[in-house]
Structure 1
Amino acid sequence: MKYLINKISIYSTLSVIGFISIIYLVMSFFLASQVTVSERNPLEQNPVDYLLEYEDVSFSPRSDDTDISLKGWFIPAEVTTDTTIIIVHGLNSNRAAGFMLPISQKLHQNGFNTLLIDLRGHGESGGDRFNGGYIERLDVLGAVDFLKSRGIPSSNVGLLGFSLGAGVVLMAAEDESDINAVVADSGFASVDDLIVQEVRRRTNLHEDIVPILIPGFTRMTKLFYGIDVDLIRPIRSAGKLEYPIFFIHGGKDERIPVDHSKRMAKASFNQDTKLWIVESIEHAGVYDDNPDFYISELVNYFSNQIAN
């Protein structure tokens, strides 16, 4: 009888453990399916609103097995030049949002072509998944390849990214050795630092529950969507780029704390890497705080780096 009771107890315990495991896996898969969905927003303006001539362009990601078509605007400078800045938006944004076009307009006036792109799953580009930035780097590299097809060498290309886009351009630059200019505004050092925050934002789960689910979440994103969180570390790229990087961040940024840029600047291979922090500013707000000075800093950096 005692043996039978012990056997029933073991089966009961195993059943409970199995049930909890199934619930955990289901919840982890649910999180992965929700957090990796892009929140697509429409384009609400275009270069004509800023009196800019432009060309609608389409191109493909580099070395990607998908048939995704990426969209962008190529805006030529006021004078003929090969020097081109690829501008990359943040998460759930697009090439027309916020200050993207005003910055492009001012770079145009200062002698730069600009190529504003929609990352996959954003704006008018194909795809419906957010991949954390590592796969999106192929979108930026596809933009570089598009410019090469127009006769613009990557040595004449600079990268400018905001928030998610900042991490994306850093990782893309690691794979394009001829690029010598990267500006990362409000970027993240590694995505695992932000997973808990993003899961809470998208699911409204209690803050005590989310950390418990993160190990299952990361495994599910890799298993079902091919997203390896360990690869999404722009700080590694910052340590491999041999030229000076320009980091920009607001000191009061709560979405991506300023410590991310501080850590990346410290990890940078080049001692001339620049870190510009405006203490009173929140996430991706440095341009709006002082547009003219912001543009002058960009122009100085890109002119020096691309000329070299």
Structure 2
Amino acid sequence: MKKFWKWFLIIIAALVVIDIGAASYFYHVAVVPGHKDFLSSTTTLKKSDPLYQQKSWYQRVHKQVWHENSATDNLKLDAYYIPAARKSTKTAVIAHGFMDDKTKMGASAAMFHKMGYNVLVPDDRGQGDSQGNYIGFGWPDRLDYIKWMNLLLKRNGQNQQLVMYGVSMGGATTMMVSGEKNVPKQLKAYVEDCGYTSVNDEITYEAKTMYHLPYWPLVPSVSGITQLRAGYNFKEASALKQVAKNHRPMLFIHGSKDKFVPTRMVYPLYRADKGPKQLLIVKGAAHAKSMATQPKLYTKTVEKFLAQYVK
């Protein structure tokens, strides 16, 4: 009997060591900023890009560089600010995706600028020129975006009409912001494009589809390491719970062929929202490709939706 328990404990200890090792590895894959093999590294702008004109404009246009401190950890954050062509009280705050940064948001910045908006495009913690050694997946970042909004109001006046827009992780960030009580009253509407229901759901989905790994014990272990090292866990980082507390207008957009943040995630998000809302499913669009797939429909839908709430 003693021999049985000895081997039993040895096996358990070995499994624990293996789990900790695997969790540490996947923490670096998912949460630590850096090159990701599963993401495209192409940065060259090609004329064949359906959004070439918008992105080309963004590369050329003069951008002010703004700074703010994070809501926690006292990190120095960086952003681009582009004033509207004509003086305007309308400002769009744009949130980028996973391992993207402010330099990659040319198409959306151009869309809002053409609509007459000022545009603010921050770098999230640990990405672009902002400080930090972890990716927040939108959760700690949601508090940073509220600070950015307050900075806008301080610099541009309290009569600003703000809109928040985000794609992929930025879409989830947008929804996570929407559930906070201290969002400025000047925030009139949200537009989220292909955001996930929660970090827990998204990491679980990617573990299964990319690595053929089950939820247990890997995802809870990576979440635990994230709690220790980055100060948040995957389950609390829920766009679904946050959007259920939102009463302001929100436009939900998702591609019908999204296999990175599966299209099915948008439906519970849309149902949970308590404010005025609209859902656009872009036929044939892959992840974060809705604007590129149907640029006219995309822009027209965003413009028409926001025109109801931003005057």
TM-score category (smaller protein): 0.7 to 0.9
Partner of 1:60 in structure 2?
69
Counterparts of 1:214 and 1:60, CA distance in 2: 30
Counterparts of 1:285 and 1:33, CA distance in 2: 27
CA pair 34-153 structure 1, distance change in 2 beyond 3 A:
same
Partner of 2:38 in structure 1?
none
What do the CA deviations read for 1:151-208 (whole angstroms, capped 9, x no partner)?
A: 343861100000000110111132205122000001111122211344478xx7x414
Partner of 2:270 in structure 1?
265
Partner of 2:309 in structure 1?
305
| 3-state SS of 2:92 partner | strand
Counterparts of 1:197 and 1:249, CA distance in 2: 17
Counterparts of 2:225 and 2:173, CA distance in 1: 22
Bigger-Rg structure (1/2): 1
The letter of the residue matching 2:302 is L
Counterparts of 2:274 and 2:114, CA distance in 1: 32
Partner of 1:286 in structure 2?
290
Q: CA deviation at 1:124?
A: 1.5
Q: CA deviation at 1:296?
A: 2.4
Counterparts of 2:207 and 2:136, CA distance in 1: 14
CA RMSD of aligned residues (A): 2.6
Q: CA deviation at 1:302?
A: 2.3
Partner of 1:90 in structure 2?
97
Q: CA deviation at 1:223?
A: 2.7
Partner of 1:141 in structure 2?
146
Moved more, 78-87 or 133-142: 133-142
Counterparts of 1:36 and 1:80, CA distance in 2: 40
Moved more, 151-160 or 75-84: 151-160
| 3-state SS of 2:292 partner | helix
What do the CA deviations read for 1:261-289 (whole angstroms, capped 9, x no partner)?
A: 1111111113x310000121111111112
Structure 2, gaps ≥5 residues long: 36-40, 46-54
Of 158, 162, 171, which aligns to 2:163?
A: 158
Of 33, 40, 55, which aligns to 1:38?
A: 33
Q: CA deviation at 1:295?
A: 2.0
Counterparts of 2:261 and 2:219, CA distance in 1: 19
The letter of the residue matching 1:18 is A
Contact persistence 2:146–2:177 (CA under 8 A): yes
The letter of the residue matching 2:152 is L
Amino-acid identity (%): 22
Counterparts of 2:43 and 2:121, CA distance in 1: 12
Partner of 1:19 in structure 2?
14
| 3-state SS of 1:194 partner | helix
CA pair 136-9 structure 1, distance change in 2 beyond 3 A:
same
The letter of the residue matching 1:81 is S
CA pair 288-295 structure 1, distance change in 2 beyond 3 A:
same
Counterparts of 1:223 and 1:128, CA distance in 2: 13
Kindly tell me the number of residue pairs found equivalent between the two proteins.
Answer: 294
Of 232, 238, 259, which aligns to 1:254?
A: 259
Moved more, 172-181 or 44-53: 44-53
TM-score by length of 2: 0.85
Contact persistence 1:189–1:261 (CA under 8 A): yes
Partner of 1:3 in structure 2?
none
Q: CA deviation at 1:292?
A: 3.0
Counterparts of 2:136 and 2:288, CA distance in 1: 21
Q: CA deviation at 1:114?
A: 0.7
TM-score by length of 1: 0.86
Partner of 1:173 in structure 2?
178
